[in-house]
Amino acid sequence: MADDELENDGSGKKPLLRYLLLGSAALIVVTVTVLATMFFVSAGPFDTDSASEIEETIQQLELDAEEARARAEELARGPAKDTLETPELTRFENTYKEMERPLVANIVNSRKVMQVKVAIMTHYDDRVVANMEKHDFAIRSEILDVMRTVDEAKLSEDSFRKELAENLKMAINSVLERYEDFGGVEEVLFTEFVVQ
């Protein structure tokens, strides 16, 4: 009988103890769950401060990407071109001066004679013309020296007159540069050209 009483006493206490333990365990689980939820909501990915920081970072990255795109477009266009103020276009006035007397020279190794009348053209002012008149004798002498180098074979070349005009221009400019420190003759023209 005593054993029966012990069984009743123990069996009556066991379900109560069991309920208390289950209740305590359930309370601990609920408490841990609530605390874990509060932790993740306040400090985890659902944190409002972290969300605003992430949003600011995304906006900053978008701004950086926009600046990089603008810089790339600028580099693709190349360097900026500076525009200069252009003055009103003024054309140079051509001034012509014809030497008064014709120049006559013998053709090398031939019985032929070349007679030319020469004019010059310049874009500069009347000083070039005045210098031509001032140094007329020296210029005529230099032109004759160039003409005396022409041989009969050169006369038949297609570009003979152009080459002769270029040589005469250099000769005239060399005389003017020697005496006046400035040539200024842009072109030599033949107003008469005879070979007999």
Strand partners, 95: 122
Q: pLDDT value at position 195?
A: 92
pLDDT at 107: 92
Q: What is the pLDDT of residue 138?
A: 94
Where the chain has pLDDT below 50, the residues are: 1-7
Q: Which two tokens stand for residue 8?
A: 């009743």
CA proximity to 102, closest of 118, 123, 122 = 118
What is the reported pLDDT for 173?
A: 93
Q: What is the reported pTM?
A: 0.54
Q: Tell me what pLDDT residue 1 has.
A: 44
Q: What's the one-letter identity of residue 137?
A: F
Answer yes or no: are the C-beta atoms of 155 and 110 closer than 8 Å: no
DSSP lists the bridge partners of residue 192 as: 117
Q: How far is CA 177 from CA 18, 45, 128, 144, 189, in A?
A: 127, 89, 11, 18, 20
